[in-house]
Amino acid sequence: MQMNPQHSEGGGPVEGPNGDAERHAVQLADLAEGPELRDILRRRTQLLADRAGLVDRLEAASRGSLSPGNLRFPSQRTRSWGRVAAALVAAAIGVALFLWPQSQQQPPIDGAPPALAQAVDVGAGVLVETPSEPVLVSLLLDSDVVEVRSSALESVDDPIDLLRARDASYRKLVSEVQLIALAAQGVR
């Protein structure tokens, strides 16, 4: 694991307009810390950074979001099509739900939006058949996490979608999931 670079190699370029000031600061900092305290601080940093598989997980979580130019990672195209299909189905279901009599809906769980509460009633892990592929929908109300997983992904443990659910598109995704899960409830 790559550990914390210390002092003069700790981060950005030392050269430049402020290079002298930075060098001077590093020398003074070295004097202030002394080798013993610096050694303990370095050891503490190593302990704090010690997390098995961290780099791999960070990379896996973020690689789907990395799109310089039009470069795309292999699984992203599949995932995108899955999302498009899910969104289309959700839109169609939304229209149907709009026409669905309110009396047929179940009472909500305390504290949860009615649609989400009903979806949770279905249970974690709902398989929804969309025109293009089956989509696995998991709802975890207690942790504020909504997962949408496509069974077409390479691994169902791929955390990318989970992270995106927490991101800016959270609300939109939640509404889609609610609709999909409600549809699944109807199917069952």
Partner 1 sequence: MTDGPADDLRRAVERITQGDEGKRGPAARLGTERAWRTIIERLGPRVFALVRSRCGDADLAEEIAQSVFVTVAEKLSSMTDVSGFESWVFTVALNRLRDEMRRRTRHARPSGDLQAVGGASGDPAFAAAPVPPVEPDPRIRDLERAMQELSPSDREIIDLRHIGGLSFQQMADLLGEPIGTLLSRHHRAVARLRASIERTQKGASSDAIP
> What does the binding site for partner 1 look like in residue numbers (CB under 8 A)?
1-6, 9-14, 18, 21-22, 25-26, 28-29, 32-34, 37, 40-45, 47-49, 51, 54-55, 57-59, 61-63, 65-73, 159, 163-164, 166-167
Least separation in angstroms between residue 89's CB and partner 1 is 26
Query: Which of 32/99 has CB closer to partner 1?
Result: 32
Query: Which of 21/187 has CB closer to partner 1?
Result: 21
Tell me which residue has tokens 């670079």: 5
Least separation in angstroms between residue 184's CB and partner 1 is 27
Query: Which of 108/159 has CB closer to partner 1?
Result: 159
Query: Which of 63/97 has CB closer to partner 1?
Result: 63
Least separation in angstroms between residue 20's CB and partner 1 is 10
Least separation in angstroms between residue 124's CB and partner 1 is 19
